Structure 1
Amino acid sequence: MKERIEQGLAALGLTPPPEAAAQLAQYGTMLLEQNQVMNLTAITEPDQVVDLHFLDCAALLTIGEDFKNKTLIDVGTGAGFPGMPLKILEPSLNVTLLDSLGKRVTWLESVCEALSLDKVTCLHARGEEQAHQEGFRDSFDFAVSRAVASLELLSELCLPYVKVGGKFLAMKSVDSGDEVDRASRAIAKLGGRLLPRVDYEIPGTGVTHRVVVVEKVSPTPKGYPRRWARMQKSPL
């Protein structure tokens, strides 16, 4: 995995720390081992883990945002994507990995320990509840999500975490145009403003994905995010 990671990062034009490729390879090994006893990923081939997880996440570092010494929360991180690869590739990031499943959070803590990562908080919480807590609301430079949910729901979950002037980065497919259009009203209501979306190709795969970029221009009104059931029943 390490050699494929190095080749892919070079193809993306990234120059990460010398230890990053080895750390990502170790993370990939731990992911595939743990996946035998816990449902972490449907991708089980090492090369595809590199391409469709690591390099896909790494592409966020190529879209023109400055991540150095910033704070970032990964809402619904699952097996750590995209927050963990971003932390490994940009060690100055202060990262919070938030997930509602305690077993996943415990495993992520073990990965951080094995890779000797600092400035990473693995948080077991529901995204729609934690966003109302002091120190989390309107507090992060970046919120990121690779979760499989509509942009309307993701925006309500994630934008409350972002400070004014910060960004919400949603990883989506290139056929998400209609979804983005539908979410524009919700984004405005939550204090956000859509910026030009960025499409990128994962090296060596021919696969193109998209980052939807939302700038936080005003504080999110009180009361958002709502309870998850309410959000699903009545999207903004």
Structure 2
Amino acid sequence: MSFTDVIAQGCFTWNIPLHEGALEGLEEYTRLLLEKNQVMNLTAITEPDQVAVRHMLDCLFQLSCGDFEGKWVIDIGSGGGFPGIPLQIARPSARFLLLDSRKKRVDFLQEVCDAMGLPAETMAGRAEEAAWQKQLREKFDIAVSRAVAPMNILCELCLPFVRPGGLFLAMKSQNEGAEQEIQGAQKAIRTLGGRLKEQRSYQLPGTDVHHQVVVIEKVKNTPPAYPRRYAKIESAPL
């Protein structure tokens, strides 16, 4: 199957509708990603058909976990643009902020947005510092994050950005270690104003890879003591 056929079939299987032009947009983003990957370490996956499955479809599954239409969304630790850029391409009515601590990667994300005319904004900065900015704290409908930190640490980095009533979607593996990690984060989730709503499991098509999206609902404001400095978050996680 072609790159676009792989994504189209996967989204059909998961009952995820795509806007017109999304498949072509995802293919163009992949071209830009692999081109830049020759001079910058953005991804270890370099075959387009594998990028389609292990990056694009992996990210797009989150569209089955919440309504992104017209929402303000922050991608924390965006790196090469995952999951934020595929989600922005698939949901052009949403407004994304792509946050990463490494300026070179943020520069690449901005290049992609400019080249493709995407409405996403980019920002270089650390999550635990950006969360104290008045215009960002508890302002987002949805926060997303992929492969950034253990769950208890990740919650302290992400939940302060989410408004009460919003969602935090964390992409995780589906295995015994991940389950222990999620259960061990229950105190952090509660302390930071969240509630574990559900865990949505899925298998990447044509592989034996099983992942999940941990869906956390923001039910009350994050206490003003959080987030702490990263050294403290890491040495004494909630």
1:117 positional shift: 1.1
In the alignment, the residues of structure 2 paired with residue 62 and residue 205 of structure 1 have an alpha-carbon distance, to the nearest angstrom, of 20
Q: Tell me, in whole angstroms, the C-alpha distance in 1 between the residues paired with 2:53 and 2:131.
A: 32
Matched with 2:99 is 98
Alignment correspondent of 1:137: 137
Cα root mean square deviation, aligned = 1.2
Give the deviation of 1:128 after TM superposition: 0.5
Write the mapping of 1:5-44 to structure 2, written as runs, cut at 5 A.
Answer: 5-44=7-46
8 Å contact from structure 2 (residues 59, 86) kept in 1: yes
What 5-or-longer segments of structure 1 have no aligned partner?
none
Provide the C-alpha distance between the structure 1 equivalents of 2:47 and 2:166, rounded to a whole number of angstroms: 36
Identity %: 50
Amino acid at match of 1:75: I
Shift of 1:143: 0.6
Distance in 1 separating the partners of 2:194 and 2:16: 29
SS at match of 2:198: coil
For the pair 1:122 / 2:122, whether they are aligned, the reply is: yes
Name the structure 2 match of 1:149.
149
- Distance in 1 (CA, whole Å) between partners of 2:42 and 2:187 is 33
Is the CA contact (8 Å cut-off) linking 1:195 and 1:214 kept in structure 2? yes
Q: How many residues align?
A: 234
Deviation per CA, 1:53-83, whole angstroms, max 9, x where unpaired?
A: 00000111123x2111111100001011111
Q: Is the 8 A contact 2:77 2:148 kept in 1?
A: no
Return the alpha-carbon distance in structure 2 between the equivalents of residues 83 and 145 of structure 1: 8
Alignment TM-score, normalising by the size of structure 1: 0.96
- How big is the shift at 1:208? 1.7
The gaps in structure 2 that reach 5 residues or longer are none
* 1:75–1:99 contact (8 Å) kept in structure 2: yes
Indicate the residue corresponding to 1:89 in structure 2: 90
Matched, 1:184 2:212: no
Q: Is the 8 A contact 2:76 2:145 kept in 1?
A: yes
Deviates more, 1:11-20 or 1:135-144: 11-20
